[in-house]
Structure 1
Amino acid sequence: MDDYSEGAHPQILEALLRTNSTQQVAYGNDEYSDAARQFIRDKIGCTDDEADIFFVPSGTSANLISIASCLRPYEAVITLDSGHIACKEAGAIEATGHKLILVPAVNGKMTPKLLQKAVRSNQFYPHMAKPRLLYLSNASETGTVYTKRELTELSALCKQLNLLLLMDGARLGTALCSNKNDMTLRDVHELTDIFWIGGTKAGALLGEAIVVKKALAEGFVFHLKQHGALLAKGRIMGVQFLELFRSDLFFELATHANRMAQKISAGFELLGYKLLAETETNQVFVILPQQLIRRLQDRFRFYIWEELDDDLAVIRIVTSWATDEMQVDKFNAWVQQWTVVCKEIEV
């Protein structure tokens, strides 16, 4: 149903247990958090003079703090209408006093043309909130990924329009490990002002790592404190990110999740079912008959993304670092079996 149903990768749990009894400085100033920051910088290919890294417990806190830290009260955020901050965070951004300017998605993504239109339509100053930040997700809400060319064009346009660029990285691991991806962490860092790396959906118990360019980093820690995200036991997140990034574990787990989604997606397509969006990461969006959906719900849990009519709906299936390939094979077998049964009933 999602990519955080399981607890944490065993290697991370073992690291937490191994380091449990050591005494450490609080509030993220411990040796594990410091080492994790350095390993993340090494993967990005940047120095501590280029960016600061802050650990927060959740994606909503990462988005809220990143946005609230760099906008004035009258400044607004441009986001796709399907963006996580627009429809999955209970109005957290609006609660900080910042207007959201909603834009329709194209294949789950923002385009330069739509961005320009959004800015032009919100320039009746001082009567309208001033667009100041573009919010993107990679992977997108429908699992698609931005190419380097797409992000480069958006980044250049943001500079031209005096907009900051924030990338939500809840599923950045699966985006970077997609067979459609041609970007590195360094590219993401260079083309955005703030981005964050999701740990919660990548095998950690909890935690996200916000990467902030130095020009915006001053005072950032005060925003963490004010919003309740500066954990006294910050070591808990430091240990986990250290384990994810001291090797290629972060990318290995994301690659596995993508491969399992590809296998499920291929099974649906083999049976003639239409995908709502091409499966590029670990989310599968497929259009199924309601009759088949009801049968699948008797045995499996998944999210009904959109009711199309009385006969058809879009469901979302999400794989994770912990998805068992044998279970995927069983799921595909059930889909095939019940497809035959449903067709026989129709006849």
Structure 2
Amino acid sequence: MWRFECDYTEGAHPEIMKRLLETNEEQTPGYGEDFYCGQARKKIQDLCGRADADVHFLVGGTQTNATVIRAALRPHQGVLSAESGHINVHETGAIEASGHKVLALPGEYGKLSARQIQEACQAHYTDSSQEHIVQPGMVYLSHPTEIGTLYSLAELQEIRKVCQEWGLWLFLDGARLGYGMAASGSDISFRELAELCDVFYIGGTKVGALFGEAVVIMASALKKDFRYMIKQQGGMLAKGRLLGIQFDTLFTDDLYLKISRHAVQMAEQIRDGFQKLGYSFFCESQTNQQFLILSPAQIEALSEKYSFSIWEEVDQEHIAVRFCTSWATKEEAVEELLADAAAIKTQA
């Protein structure tokens, strides 16, 4: 069985496993105050071109989103998100459980626009009953989005302008950030994120690490007491060096982007191969997620040998599915998938 249902089915990149084993019996301070976390922080600061960036290491994406949003918002505030945003769909109400509402807006291919944010804020502040309504306090973006689409630098700049106009925090979820940066046509780097976002995070769990996300805080007001929030949310790992070693390794010799490029190349082979066979796509994606439209019979046939995600029903006879590659996807698996896709093309 070849698995394409997500990008975290494997353990960790061999270089990370090697470093963890090499340092296994070292004694270090806990809670992220060790040498390795310090070294990883410095490498991330250098990538961002900002020595003033605060960098914190947490274990997973939902924990990271909940911690950042809870730290940033006042009790009466909510967070603007695309309807398909991870915090709105796949986090079991973690944000609402912390006392904050997700203010969902219809996304275009998973993305929010500056115009939508502007209109949402105008609608709130021109409502005569505004004190009775949750106030927008933050904009949450995912890059890439849940359907593999990307924000352009121009789009991010426009969103930043609107956030500044209305006093909104700008938070970017980078769970798959490496795959976004490695995609063809991507024009957003760590330096642009550090310039435009108040806070963002660099995903490790889905990009080669055993686990871990690196939160990068640029806004001074968010830096104060953030470690208190990490602790309160259960995110302060006692053996913090396990996170530091992983990110230190990922950001040595450009490993993070190298392995991200491999995943994107494998996804491009899937995309190009299915296109040549005449299959239709649910949406266009330049990243490691590819969304195909298949018939139930085709899904049943491919499911005998491959695992992939059922996304949504397109019509009574077609279903959108997701094939997701990772840093560890083997070309052999992609070649077999395309060969089998060719064999079942005529199945209704």
Q: TM-score, normalised by structure 1?
A: 0.96
1:194 maps to 2:196:
no
Aligned to 2:134: 129
Aligned equivalents of 1:43, 1:93: Cα separation in 2: 30
Aligned to 1:93: 95
Q: Give, in angstroms, the shift of residue 64 of structure 1.
A: 0.5
- Runs (4 or more) in structure 1 with deviation over 3 Å come to none
Q: Give, in angstroms, the shift of residue 45 of structure 1.
A: 1.2
1:227-275 Cα deviation digits (max 9, x unpaired)? 1000100000000000000220000011110110011011111121221
1:271-330 Cα deviation digits (max 9, x unpaired)? 212211112100001111121111111111011100123310000010000000111011
Aligned to 1:307: 313
Aligned match for 2:164, one of 143, 156, 159: 159
Determine helix, strand or coil for the equivalent of 1:316: strand
Aligned to 2:63: 61
Aligned equivalents of 2:185, 2:112: Cα separation in 1: 17
Aligned equivalents of 2:246, 2:296: Cα separation in 1: 41
In structure 2, give the amino acid aligned to 1:175.
Answer: G
Aligned equivalents of 1:196, 1:238: Cα separation in 2: 15
Kept in 2: contact 1:7–1:204 (CA 8 A):
yes
Aligned to 2:18: 14
Determine helix, strand or coil for the equivalent of 1:259: helix
Aligned to 1:297: 303
Q: Give, in angstroms, the shift of residue 87 of structure 1.
A: 0.4
1:5 maps to 2:45:
no
Aligned match for 1:212, one of 213, 217, 230: 217
Aligned to 2:177: 172
Determine helix, strand or coil for the equivalent of 2:290: strand
Determine helix, strand or coil for the equivalent of 1:253: helix
In structure 1, give the amino acid aligned to 2:108.
Answer: V
Determine helix, strand or coil for the equivalent of 1:122: helix
Aligned to 1:34: 38
Aligned residues with identical type, % of pairs: 42
Aligned match for 2:80, one of 78, 81, 85: 78
Aligned equivalents of 1:333, 1:274: Cα separation in 2: 17
In structure 1, give the amino acid aligned to 2:238.
Answer: A
Aligned to 1:251: 257
Determine helix, strand or coil for the equivalent of 2:281: coil
Number of residue-to-residue matches in the alignment: 340
In structure 2, give the amino acid aligned to 1:31.
Answer: F
1:66-105 Cα deviation digits (max 9, x unpaired)? 1000111001100000000000000000001111111011
Q: Give, in angstroms, the shift of residue 332 of structure 1.
A: 0.5
Kept in 2: contact 1:170–1:197 (CA 8 A):
yes
Determine helix, strand or coil for the equivalent of 1:17: helix
Determine helix, strand or coil for the equivalent of 1:181: coil
In structure 2, give the amino acid aligned to 1:281.
Answer: T
Aligned equivalents of 2:44, 2:86: Cα separation in 1: 25
> Mapping of 1:262-273 within 5 angstroms?
262-273=268-279
Aligned equivalents of 2:280, 2:338: Cα separation in 1: 15
In structure 2, give the amino acid aligned to 1:188.
Answer: L
Aligned to 2:329: 323
Kept in 2: contact 1:290–1:310 (CA 8 A):
no
Aligned equivalents of 1:42, 1:279: Cα separation in 2: 30
Determine helix, strand or coil for the equivalent of 2:43: helix
Kept in 2: contact 1:52–1:217 (CA 8 A):
yes
Deviates more, 1:207-216 or 1:90-99: 207-216
Aligned equivalents of 2:55, 2:166: Cα separation in 1: 26
Aligned equivalents of 2:306, 2:179: Cα separation in 1: 23
Kept in 2: contact 1:56–1:230 (CA 8 A):
yes
Determine helix, strand or coil for the equivalent of 1:196: strand
Aligned to 2:248: 242
Kept in 2: contact 1:292–1:338 (CA 8 A):
yes
Aligned equivalents of 2:241, 2:234: Cα separation in 1: 16
Kept in 2: contact 1:261–1:279 (CA 8 A):
no
In structure 2, give the amino acid aligned to 1:41.
Answer: Q
